[in-house]
Amino acid sequence: MYNIPMVKLSYFNEVTSIQTNKIACSRQAFEHLASLYEVGQLAHIERFFILLLNRNNKVLGAHMVSMGGVGGTVVDPKIIFQAALLANASGIILCHNHPSGNLTPSQPDIDITKKVKEAGKFLDILVSDHLILSPEGKYFSFADEGMM
C-alpha cells in the first residue's frame, strides 16, 4: 500500500463578473497593469506581471511572476501558466517594466513572448499582448506593433 498525498486545487474570486472590467485595447490593459506598480517602482527594478482574463476579456486578477534587477528578471512559463490554470483563465496579458525607460523590446523579451504564446496555444489560453512599461508613464504593446 502506498501513501500518496492528495493535491487539492481551489479558486475563490471575491469580485463578481459584474464588478470587473473588460479589456478591449492595449490602453485599458496598460491602465490596469500600471496600477499594480507602487509609486517609484517602475524606475527601480524589473517586475513581470500577468493579467488574467476570462473568455469575455474581463479581468479575473493579476499575478506577479517575478521580480529581478535593474537590467532584467527571470520569467518561468511554468509559473505563468500555474497562475492562469488556477484562476481558470482563458487569456492572459504579459507585462513588465523597463526601469531605463527604453521601450524597445530586447531579444529576450521577444523570445519569452513567443515561448509563452506557443505554450498558451497548447493549453488553449490566449496570450493576447505583452506590454512594456516605462517610468515616464508610456508603454509599448507587442499586439499594437503586430508582434503577437
Contacts of 135 (CB under 8 A, 6+ apart): 42, 43, 97, 99, 101
What whole-number percentage of the chain has pLDDT above 90? Answer: 73
What are 8-65's pLDDT values in tens digits?
666 666 665 555 789 999 999 999 999 998 877 888 899 999 999 999 999 999 999 9
What are 72-105's pLDDT values in tens digits?
899 999 999 999 999 999 999 999 999 999 999 9
Name the packing angle between helices 77-86 and 107-123 (round to 10°). 40
Which runs of consecutive H residues, i.e. helices, occur in the chain? 26-34, 77-86, 107-123
Query: Which of the two residues, 110 and 44, has the higher pLDDT score?
Result: 110
Query: Which of the two residues, 107 and 18, has the higher pLDDT score?
Result: 107
CA distance to 6, 29, 107, per residue, from 33 (Å): 35, 6, 22
Query: Which of the two residues, 38 and 108, has the higher pLDDT score?
Result: 108
Residues 98, 133 contacting (CB under 8 angstroms): yes
Q: Does this model's pTM top 0.85?
A: yes
What is residue 72's predicted lDDT score, i.e. its pLDDT?
Answer: 85
- In the chain the domains, ranked by start, together with CATH numbers, are 29-141 (3.40.140.10)
